């Protein structure tokens, strides 16, 4: 199970538990707890937003591929011995050196170098 899924499940359990407690608690107690939980949730949301920005891919990241092996594609397959990806997947430079042989037969596609879609 991924960390994201565990986080989602724990969050749902906590929200359900808090909702159940708020439904059964006295109004004054529930009001105080709801206020405190809202304030803590807002601070946590700001922290998660800052964390997400810090983890975001940095502009100008480069990709380097070298000394790759041999690849063969048949029947509509794709053989890549360099780099293949979306043009917007890299924000920096792509450097490919000493790539291996890429061969394709039938409807296959072979790339020995760089292919940006």
- Tell me, what's the pLDDT at 58? 63
What integer pLDDT is reported at residue 77 of this predicted model? 86
Give residue 57's pLDDT.
Answer: 64
Residue 87 confidence (pLDDT)? 72
Long-range contacts, 82-86 (Cβ 8 Å, 24+): 82/111, 82/112, 82/113, 82/114, 82/115, 83/113, 83/114, 83/115, 84/111, 84/114, 84/115, 84/116, 84/117, 85/115, 85/116, 85/117, 86/116, 86/117
pLDDT at 47: 80
Euclidean distance between CA atoms 101 and 110, whole angstroms: 9
pLDDT in the model for residue 54:
75
0.75 surpassed by pTM: no
Q: Which residues in the chain land under pLDDT 70?
A: 56-61, 89-91
- The pLDDT value given to residue 89: 67
């Amino acid at each position: 199970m991924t960390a994201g899924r565990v986080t989602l499940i724990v969050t749902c359990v906590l929200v359900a538990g808090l909702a159940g407690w708020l439904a059964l608690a006295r109004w004054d107690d529930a009001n105080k707890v709801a206020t405190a939980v809202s304030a803590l949730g807002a601070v946590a949301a700001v922290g998660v937003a800052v964390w997400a920005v810090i983890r975001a891919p940095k502009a100008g990241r480069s990709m380097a591929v070298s000394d790759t092996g041999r690849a063969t594609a048949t029947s509509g397959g794709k053989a890549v011995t360099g780099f293949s990806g979306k043009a917007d997947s890299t924000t920096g430079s792509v450097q490919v050196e000493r790539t291996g042989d890429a061969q394709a037969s039938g409807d296959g596609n072979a790339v020995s170098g760089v292919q940006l879609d």
